[in-house]
Amino acid sequence: MSERSFLSIIADRAIGTKVAIGFSVVLLILAVSSAIAYFAFGQAAAAVEDYAVLVTNSTIFRDIDRQVAQYRGHVREYVFSNDEATAATATKEGDALR
C-alpha cells in the first residue's frame, strides 16, 4: 500500500466520519492519560502513607534515645557524686525506660 493510497482512504471519508474518528482519538488519549494519572496518584498516596509510618517510628526511636541519654546521664552523675537522690532518679528512669 503506497502513501498516496493511504491518504486517499482518509480523504475519501465523509466529513462526519472524519470528525467522529478525530473525536474518538481525543477521547482515547484522554482515557489513557486519565488512567495513568489515576495510578500515579495511587502511588503517591501509598508513598505518603509509608512516609507517615517512618515519621511515627522515628518519633518513637527519638523518644527512646532521649530517655536512654537521660538515664545514662543520671547514672554517671550518681557514680561521680554518690548522691542517693540521683540514684533514686536514675532507678525510676530505668524502670520507666524498660
Report the alpha-carbon distance of residue 45 to residue 80 in Å, rounded.
53
pTM strictly above 0.85? no
pLDDT of residue 34: 97
pLDDT of residue 24: 95
pLDDT (tens digit per residue) in 31-57: 999 999 999 999 999 999 999 999 999
Higher pLDDT, 15 or 89: 15
Instruction: Record the cell numbers describing residue 94, joined without a space.
Output: 530505668
Torsion over CA of 73, 74, 79 and 81, rounded to 10 degrees?
110
